[in-house]
Homo-oligomer: A and B are copies of this chain.
């Protein structure tokens, strides 16, 4: 990275939902952006926490915790960390743009997951100025 990256331009460069793009790497971590709409799948990252920051819209994250299931709601400018080992399902009825920080190589559907529908991309993140929209 020799010049700053504008998040608006990055988000305007692709359209596919639930298909993160890697906008930066920090040591062995990725900073990814994704567009969300509708439901992701229940999944878990066994070995890593996952950081979410909502850039626009609203993201909901359902969580299966020891005390039961609950959902957190993140509006624009809100952040949340899903701890490792916690099954979660992001959803976004009205759509959102999110920034995610997690170790490079982290799979978008985690280490265990429900069946992945066509609208959810199984990926470790695509290059920003990348492939199919």
What is the interface of chain A, defined by CB distance below 8 A to chain B?
A: 1, 3-8, 23-27, 29, 31, 48-51, 53, 55, 72-75, 77-81, 84, 99, 101-103
Docked pose: A8 CA to B54 CA in angstroms: 12
Docked pose: A70 CA to B71 CA in angstroms: 46
Pick from B55, B79, B103: contact of A27, CB below 8 A.
B103
Binding site secondary structure of chain A: strand
CB of A4 within 8 A of CB of B74, answer: yes
Give the chain B neighbours of A26 by CB distance below 8 A.
49-51, 81, 101-102
Q: Closest residue to A83 on the B side, CB-wise?
A: B1
Docked pose: A4 CA to B50 CA in angstroms: 13
CB distance from A105 to the nearest CB of B (A): 13
In the A-B complex, list the 5 residue pairs whose CB atoms are closest, starting with the nearest: A4-B78, A4-B80, A26-B51, A7-B77, A26-B49
Pick from B23, B27, B84: contact of A48, CB below 8 A.
B27
Pick from B3, B29, B49, B80: contact of A5, CB below 8 A.
B80
Docked pose: A74 CA to B8 CA in angstroms: 13
